[in-house]
Structure 1
Amino acid sequence: MQLSDLKQVYFIGIGGIGMSAVARYFHRRGVLVSGYDKTPTELTRTLEKEGMEIHYTARPEEIPPPSSELLIVYTPAVPKHFPELVHVTAGDYSVMKRSEVLGLISRHMRCIGIAGTHGKTTTTTITTYLMMTAGLDPSAFLGGIARDFDGNYVHGESDWVVVEADEYDRSFLRLTPEIAVILSTDPDHLDIYGDHAQMIETGFRAYARQIKPGGQLIVRYDIAEHFTDLEEVMVSTFGIGTGDFCAHNIRVEDGAFHFDLREPDGHLIQNLRTSLPGRHNVENAVAACAVTRLAGGDESHLREGLANFHGIARRFETVLRNGDVVIIDDYAHHPTELRAAISAARELYPNRTIRGVFQPHLYSRTQDFAPGFAKALDLLDEAIIIPIYPAREEPIPGVTSQLVYGLMKNEKRRLLTDTQMLELTAELKDGVLLLLGAGNIDALVPRIVAQHRRKSLHYGH
């Protein structure tokens, strides 16, 4: 299929963060874009304001008739028995997964694919911003809403494209990057891969073999052992204290992280500054700097870009500072991500009480990682767990939030409904509150913030 021949694209699940970026790509090119999503959200409302037609009840009759100028794009998050998906797969339609479309878009471009079980969105967005600062003018498909771009799709004029390379459903195997990054290979999506070994072999190692001959792989130093047998690919490592691209002398000054970056030839770039919280984000910044340098950016671009980068919605996003209360919204949905968010809060607010609300995401993930979730949440001074967000899954017998709660040792933990959680968090008078999860907890965040703003007005603060 030639994407240039398309006049219309219909998306089943248009409101997903990855789907909406592809929808914006086509819309930007004058293609008629429409689609379905389950519920209206801030993102779908923005797409509608941009000129895309969206409906929220499954209506196969809304789908245009088959045509050589029409493409149907769907996300694997949509169940196979969903009426609109059944209609198009049974009909004479051109139907593709989002990952296939992304592969077609990027195939004839200089693709930078950023993969890993954690840090993809942040690193993809920092890389895009640094490359823009360097005048490399990439396009980008992001997995979050970047404050600096006010969206999740960036339209550039060069042949560079930066793509968040998603391991779910082996989506990233559709990409053929010139530069690839692998940030982490912690176990996840075991419903797809079966076990961790298969995830590394049929996921990340297979992805690395997709790199174009003469291309570059940038991989975190402690997982580089999995990628030593690549042919015709230059492998560089990155990390804190070790790696070819390496952060040294990390310190917090004036509420921001500062570090020195040592490059493979020994050159030292001193006193880089980032306002992103946590040492994990220093690592993400190092990986982004490595890509930008390999793509042609210079030292001044790293310094300027990192200092000016504002971050991504729901990635340790401070949504309220109100007197003695700080509320931070974070997408963390894996034990490693929970530990990173809690550690970042401790480092930035060392003398505050750190509380957290966690909404587990998916029954399968909760079943696989319940002990890890419990251990991570025990790092909080006080923990609240609310019901699992099921997303695409049917319930699994015996798997509820109680599974995590029962494994925790923290005496100040509570298992609450969403409503009970809202009532309790409204009463907080001090400390840091982390709102953690990848489900619809983000829809509760404005209500929690509004409660505190109303209280502040009531007391005249």
Structure 2
Amino acid sequence: MSHQADYITKAGKNLADYRQVYFIGIGGIGMSALARFFKSKGAAVAGYDRHPTTLTDQLAAEGILIHFTEDTSQIPAGTDLVIYTPAIPKDSLELAYVRTHFTGIEIVKRSDVLGWITQQSFNICVGGSHGKTSISTMTAHILRHSGYGCNAFLGGIAVNYDSNFWSSDRQVSVIEADEYDRSFLKLSADIAVITAMDADHLDIYGTPREVENAYIAFSEKIKPGGLLISKYGLTRDSELKADRHLHYSRFNEQADLYASNLQVQNGSYVFDVHHKQQLIPGLTLTIGGLHNVENMVAAVGVALELGIAADKIKAAVADFKGVKRRFEYHLRDDQHILIDDYAHHPEELAALIEGVRSLYAKKLTVVFQPHLYSRTKDLATAFAEALDKADEVILLPIYPARELPMEGVSSLLILNNMQLEQKRILEKQALLSTIQKENPELLVLCGAGDIAELIEPVKAILSPGKHTS
């Protein structure tokens, strides 16, 4: 079965029929996956983004034309589909231009296209306020490694394949279901995973209850006869809808899927997975973080429900190398441990710190860059409680992303709520000087902004001349 033949739009048009696709915000992790998707279909792909990145460099190397200054003259003639990110500013010159001058063609959000794809594919959609990137990548990896096959649309770069997208002849799609802007409500899942329903994106939803309502609505989108796999103990679990419903947990034996007999061996986790009445013993996970044990339990559960053999699952788990910026090691030797992580929500920070503690009995220094003024304002107390679990915390100024500054909102809001004694706020250059002076043995950099740009200079300070291990 050709993977090009059966992706149908809401209008009944084959997505492979689009020949010139233009992206506004092409460098986003979800947007770039779709750009690669259309490129794989043989379409000419071009796009705009504000800044060049490693990811846009890769897209350009794959034959995708990208420019970094809004310039309507660079929008290709003959463009027959425009896709834009919901994070694009409302005053976007290019978006306004295509709406005015490209009449008669579809101008849609990324989520619309993912919705089209799910109309004619068997879909595994992974949603949740945290953990969705890891679980969707783990699931897609198991399906690919085992030979089952899938199309993957991921919100992170799978280290095994150095990509956030791949295709397969099997008409099965693994899709990260993004709750921002209620995007995930356009997806139609055959198997859905819900990891958490914690308050986030309150600039969109307004209240924590509205966030929960959106996840309930997401569950209602599961196709008839479909399966929901949700984390055991979620708030309002009884309101989630699906014809079949399983629960997963890290260790709770009340769940349908859980891990047991966990051991740490040579920096890896070794554990068993229980799936209803089935047991898979001795899985080995080489990436850190106890939360990743739980994430892998969910991914293994999906694979078992698809009928993939236990020995193939075990081999795939052992070969899983992780997701870039998810508990990603950059140094791991006798002198220094340097970890980079995308954690930008209090629950993610707490899980990250717990995971580091489970592997290392050393002084833990955490450098955190808050992401968004609104999120910092809404969750400052929870951020402080999570960060208090470290031994030392250095806060960077807030990364604003799409937001304008808010009066009275800064990293000081988090700092002033913390009980930890060793805490401070530093600008980036001062941070590098501090690391040079203090030479921390166990260092974690985390956040969803541009903090990852500090990894290479920090690495050069801590261990000159060494490569990522």
AA in 1 matched with 2:345: H
AA in 1 matched with 2:435: T
Measured after TM superposition, the shift of residue 45 of structure 1 is 0.7
CA contact (8 A) 2:22 2:45 kept: yes
Secondary structure of 1:258's match? strand
Describe the shift of the 1:50–1:428 C-alpha distance in structure 2 as closer, same or farther (beyond 3 A): farther
How far apart, in 2, do the equivalents of 1:229 and 1:64 lie? 45
Q: What residue is the counterpart of 1:215 in the other structure?
A: 226
Secondary structure of 1:223's match? coil
Structure 2 counterpart of 1:274, from 282, 285, 307: 285
How far apart, in 1, do the equivalents of 2:16 and 2:319 lie? 36
Q: What residue is the counterpart of 1:292 in the other structure?
A: 303
How far apart, in 2, do the equivalents of 1:213 and 1:52 lie? 39
How far apart, in 1, do the equivalents of 2:82 and 2:240 lie? 38
With 407-416 and 216-225 compared, the bigger mean Cα shift is at 216-225
Measured after TM superposition, the shift of residue 87 of structure 1 is 1.3
Number of equivalent positions: 451
How far apart, in 2, do the equivalents of 1:198 and 1:338 lie? 23
AA in 2 matched with 1:287: A
Describe the shift of the 1:112–1:230 C-alpha distance in structure 2 as closer, same or farther (beyond 3 A): same
Measured after TM superposition, the shift of residue 89 of structure 1 is 2.3
Secondary structure of 2:45's match? strand
CA contact (8 A) 1:363 1:395 kept: yes
- Structure 1's unaligned 5+ residue stretches are none
Secondary structure of 2:371's match? coil
AA in 2 matched with 1:262: H
With 82-91 and 394-403 compared, the bigger mean Cα shift is at 82-91
Structure 2 counterpart of 1:348, from 351, 359, 383: 359
How far apart, in 1, do the equivalents of 2:302 and 2:256 lie? 12
RMSD, aligned CA? 1.6
CA contact (8 A) 1:219 1:238 kept: yes
Deviations 1:343-394, CA, capped at 9 Å, x for gaps: 11111112x1100110000011001110011111111111100111111111
- Structure 2's unaligned 5+ residue stretches are 1-10
AA in 2 matched with 1:268: L
AA in 2 matched with 1:226: D
Q: What residue is the counterpart of 1:198 in the other structure?
A: 210
Structure 2 counterpart of 1:117, from 98, 116, 129: 129
Secondary structure of 1:426's match? helix
1:364 aligns with 2:374: yes
Q: What residue is the counterpart of 1:387 in the other structure?
A: 397
Q: What residue is the counterpart of 2:184 in the other structure?
A: 172
Deviations 1:212-239, CA, capped at 9 Å, x for gaps: 00010001111174345635x1001111
Q: What residue is the counterpart of 1:418 in the other structure?
A: 428
AA in 2 matched with 1:122: S
Q: What residue is the counterpart of 1:158 in the other structure?
A: 170
How far apart, in 1, do the equivalents of 2:466 and 2:419 lie? 34
Q: What residue is the counterpart of 2:8 in the other structure?
A: none
AA in 2 matched with 1:271: G
How far apart, in 1, do the equivalents of 2:313 and 2:332 lie? 29
With 447-456 and 303-312 compared, the bigger mean Cα shift is at 447-456
CA contact (8 A) 1:361 1:439 kept: yes
Structure 1 counterpart of 2:345, from 321, 334, 355: 334
How far apart, in 2, do the equivalents of 1:302 and 1:428 lie? 43
Measured after TM superposition, the shift of residue 429 of structure 1 is 2.9
Q: What residue is the counterpart of 1:408 in the other structure?
A: 418
How far apart, in 1, do the equivalents of 2:157 and 2:274 lie? 30
CA contact (8 A) 1:118 1:183 kept: yes
How far apart, in 2, do the equivalents of 1:9 and 1:229 lie? 37
How far apart, in 1, do the equivalents of 2:237 and 2:387 lie? 30
AA in 2 matched with 1:184: A
How far apart, in 2, do the equivalents of 1:210 and 1:376 lie? 33
Measured after TM superposition, the shift of residue 307 of structure 1 is 0.9
| TM-score, length basis structure 2 | 0.93
AA in 1 matched with 2:247: T
Secondary structure of 1:214's match? coil
1:39 aligns with 2:51: yes
CA contact (8 A) 1:322 1:452 kept: no
Measured after TM superposition, the shift of residue 456 of structure 1 is 8.0
CA contact (8 A) 1:363 1:400 kept: yes
CA contact (8 A) 2:367 2:395 kept: yes
How far apart, in 2, do the equivalents of 1:63 and 1:456 lie? 42
Measured after TM superposition, the shift of residue 419 of structure 1 is 1.0
Deviations 1:419-454, CA, capped at 9 Å, x for gaps: 111111223434210001000111121111122333
CA contact (8 A) 2:291 2:352 kept: no
| TM-score, length basis structure 1 | 0.95
Structure 2 counterpart of 1:52, from 64, 73, 77: 64
How far apart, in 1, do the equivalents of 2:70 and 2:431 lie? 32
Secondary structure of 1:217's match? strand
Structure-to-structure mapping, 1:63-82, within 5 angstroms: 63-65=75-77, 67=78, 70-82=80-92
Secondary structure of 1:305's match? helix
Describe the shift of the 1:158–1:270 C-alpha distance in structure 2 as closer, same or farther (beyond 3 A): same
Structure-to-structure mapping, 1:10-25, within 5 angstroms: 10-25=22-37
Secondary structure of 1:222's match? coil
1:373 aligns with 2:383: yes
Q: What residue is the counterpart of 1:249 in the other structure?
A: 261
